[in-house]
Amino acid sequence: MLYALFLLLAIVYNIRKFRKEREVFLSSLIEANNFSHREMILGHHFYVFIFEGFLSIIVAHLISEKAISLGIVGLGAIYLCLVFLGFFLYQFFIRYIEKHTKLELYESFKNHLIKELRVNFGLVLLPILVYASINWAFQEDGSTHSGGIWILELFLNIIFVSVLTIVCTVIIMLRLIPNREITEPEYLKIINKRLFEIKQPNMRVRWIEADIKNAFVVGLKLLFFSNQTMFIGKSLRDSLTHEEFDAIIAHELGHVVNRHIHKRVIDLFKNFVSLLFGTLIIGFSVFSISFLYWGEDAHLHTSFTAVATTLLCMIWYFFNHSIMFDTIRSHEFEADGYAVMVMGANLEAFKSALEKLTSPQELPQYLKTKYKVDKKKGRISKWFSETFSTHPEPKKRISYLEHKISSGLPFNYYVSKPKKIRNFLSHFFDWRVSIPGVVSLMTLSLWAFWELKLGSENIAFLQNSSSQDIIKNKTLVLKINDRPQLVGQTLMYHVVKKKDPELIEYFVSQGADKGKTLIYISQLKDYDLLKKYYSTYQSSLSNDDYFLVLRKTAELNFTEGYRLLVNAKQFEKLDSTYKEDVSRLYQTNAQRMPASVDNLK
């Protein structure tokens, strides 16, 4: 009911919006120079309605209490249902437009819209839905069926699903996208000549009977199986000269010869492996550094550590994908070079073809006001679009191709992002950088070795000396809150291990951290000692110190100490998050709850 209500609101909103701009909309259709412009205006209006309807469904889903989980397949199904509903409603809208403009729009726009939907679905939604459906069909719980090799099964599943997706997508595209066999002799001559050059004369090539200014190859060639198909938009047939058309065909066949589709499957696999292991390493490293740096206080900084880990993982995610997109763009540079430098396509024809294919389509005045086509991109949006695009800008492609030709470089020459990083890191091996770096590292290592040596000597002194000798050693007072081993417990831990009240009181009076002292006493599991010093220091303990001591008793399953601290008045002031953490830890270790801690939950 909620979904229907929000969808109805979207429809009402669109009707009200149309009523406000009705005269402008109708006059723009009447004044349009050709039917193509009318199709663009009506198509824009239709897709805006679909988008707003889809957005209303998503909003309803987010606020619904009984919402089911939606994956890619679920979102795709919702979008398709909205498209069919919108297509049904739009027929009445077109009839209304015809009545008030005296234009014949219904049949031609209906055919145009059906072609558009078939092409858009086939090129955008279909590969995603096929991948998601196949992955769902073959997904298994690797941990129950494969034991310790579930990761290997996951990797193989990714490759298998990716290959099957490409194969199935081609089969469905041939049925879904409006296409036909190429019969024009002048174009067959150009295509067949190039196919013989790459020794694939039987490769399937089809016209796309829709206004697409593009050509692309899909499918795979594996051993004796091949379903590779080249689709060519009819706009190329109408707008390019034969020489320009030949250059574009050579470029697309450059993708085939250099097996770029196969490489994309491998890149997807490599990207997944890199993301998985990178995330694991980042998580382990950040939490390890957190415990090494903060020691016993690390549990007070779990939120910061989690945020830092999340941010670093996001950076790693974007970095990985930027490398993957950089690799995809390198395929375009490679195919450009192969077409001109190996297959002999005319460079000037290739340049003019790129300019024609990438030049923006002329828009009617109505859509110019909607799109604001003259607005320049900001730095961030420009960087983002360049970094995460599959195709480089035409100017870059042409200049890079001319650079390879003039410099005598191979057609597949390309400085990838990983290579740029390696080149940058190689500067650190320059003697002017490496020598100061090595000296600094050696100095740091010597300092660490000296500190460890002094720390070991202090620990040995505490373990083997009498209380009076320890008290006489004034150096220990200065280092009592330092970590003798650089990480881990402070020097006070080794004082507490002697269980000498005189020593404990002396060093606390000299500035030893009271919170850490109580933590170390908890580690001894000495109830009498803990009770004595907790009652002495509790008034000066902060909530964070109290929490760390309480957590240590729960972690060690020190039941008597845990009961003592939970029944203290300070427990009532403890943050609820801390209470839940301690309760969960104690239940895990003891599998029971003391009667006095019912309010922990």
Q: Token pair 């729960």 is at which residue? A: 554
Residue spans of the domains in the chain: they are 1-146, 177-429, 437-600
Return the SS3 of 216: strand
User: Distance (Å, rounded) from C-alpha 140 to C-alpha 154?
Assistant: 9
Distances (CA, A) of 311 to 115, 275, 287, 299: 43, 14, 13, 19
CA 319 to chain centre: 9
Please give the pLDDT value at position 374.
47
Closest by Cα among 264, 262, 403, 401 to 342 = 401
- CATH code of the region 437-600: 1.25.40
Summarised one tens digit per residue, pLDDT across range 151-196 is 566 666 666 666 666 667 666 677 777 888 888 999 999 999 999 9
With beta carbons less than 8 A apart as the criterion, state whether 412 and 258 touch.
yes
How many other CB atoms are found less than 10 A from the CB of residue 466? 11
The count of C-alpha atoms lying within 13 angstroms of the C-alpha of 129, restricted to the half-sphere facing its C-beta, is 18
How many other CB atoms are found less than 10 A from the CB of residue 439? 10
User: Distance (Å, rounded) from C-alpha 203 to C-alpha 193?
Assistant: 12
Please give the pLDDT value at position 443.
94
User: Distance (Å, rounded) from C-alpha 347 to C-alpha 251?
Assistant: 11
With beta carbons less than 8 A apart as the criterion, state whether 125 and 76 touch.
yes
User: Distance (Å, rounded) from C-alpha 171 to C-alpha 162?
Assistant: 15
Question: At a CB cut-off of 8 Å and minimum separation 6, what does 426 contact?
Answer: none
Distances (CA, A) of 19 to 23, 102, 105: 8, 19, 20
Please give the pLDDT value at position 189.
93
Please give the pLDDT value at position 75.
74
Tokens representing 222 are 């594996």
Q: Which stretches in the chain have pLDDT values below 50?
A: 141-148, 373-374, 592-601
User: Distance (Å, rounded) from C-alpha 292 to C-alpha 419?
Assistant: 34
Please give the pLDDT value at position 144.
46
Question: What are the beta bridge partners of residue 208?
Answer: 179, 233
How many residues does this entry show for the chain?
601
pTM (predicted TM-score): 0.72
Read off the amino acid at residue 150. W
Summarised one tens digit per residue, pLDDT across range 248-305 is 999 999 999 999 988 888 888 888 888 889 999 999 999 888 888 887 788 888 888 9
Please give the pLDDT value at position 81.
85
With beta carbons less than 8 A apart as the criterion, state whether 321 and 271 touch.
yes
State how beta strands 229-233 and 204-208 pair.
Answer: parallel
> Kindly report the CA angle at 425 between 421 and 426, in degrees rounded to 5?
115
User: Distance (Å, rounded) from C-alpha 127 to C-alpha 169?
Assistant: 6
User: Distance (Å, rounded) from C-alpha 459 to C-alpha 483?
Assistant: 10
- Nearest 10 degrees: CA dihedral of 594, 595, 600, 601? 100
Q: Token pair 């001559």 is at which residue? A: 189
DSSP state of 125: I
User: Distance (Å, rounded) from C-alpha 214 to C-alpha 119?
Assistant: 12
Beta strands in 376-483, from DSSP E residues, in sequence order? none
Question: At a CB cut-off of 8 Å and minimum separation 6, what does 382 contact?
Answer: none
Question: What are the beta bridge partners of residue 215?
Answer: 232
State how beta strands 225-226 and 204-208 pair.
Answer: unpaired
